[in-house]
Amino acid sequence: MKTPRHKTLITEKRIRRRVADLAEQINSDYKGRELALIFISRGAFVFTADLARKIRLPVRIDCVSANSYRGLKSSGKVEIDANLKIDIKRKHVLLVDDILDSGITLNKVIRRLEKLGPADIRTCVLLDKTSKRKVPLKADYVGFEIPDVFVYGYGLDYDEYCRNLPYVACLKK
């Protein structure tokens, strides 16, 4: 597949700066504590890798799988696989996702992780699309607020392609 005609929404340089800022805030907020960094696969893997390298705390990393997209549209049904390899009971959990739009997926993953008895769960998202919110959910750490456009790159996919773009793009009209 050829990369679709697109425009850059968030440059690689802006992403790098914002990830460093988020990591500094996380380092400060969790100072002196161990952190369980749980990311929602596959979209958040690039963001999580960059963020984890900037966190200067003892960190254990794991992932959950959650998906509601088929092609370019959400099916509305969330499939979750939360078989963690690390124990999060009484641990401080930072749940990382690529994008918070309707809030349905992130909310369901939070509810699933709460059953495992963590000390607390905070959320960190690269992108926040507040105009699409269906569940009253606000991320604790937000990279960028974005308009209601379909985005891909920097881990987010365009029908499973384009995750390797170093920036966030949207379709060109």
- The domain spans of the chain are 6-65+82-159
> CATH number of the domain at 6-65+82-159, out of 3.40.50.2020, 3.30.56.10, 3.20.20.100, 3.40.50.10680?
3.40.50.2020
pLDDT at 69 over 70: no
pLDDT at 73 over 70: no
pTM recorded for the entire structure = 0.92
pLDDT at 72 over 60: no
Tell me the catalytic residues: 101
Closest CA to 20 of 43, 52, 57: 52
Which pLDDT tens digit goes with each residue over 78-137? 788 888 999 999 999 999 999 999 999 999 999 999 999 999 999 999 999 999 899 999
* CA atoms 101, 25, 122, 92: torsion sign: positive
Mean pLDDT of all residues in 2-25: 93
Closest CA to 114 of 142, 95, 135, 134: 95
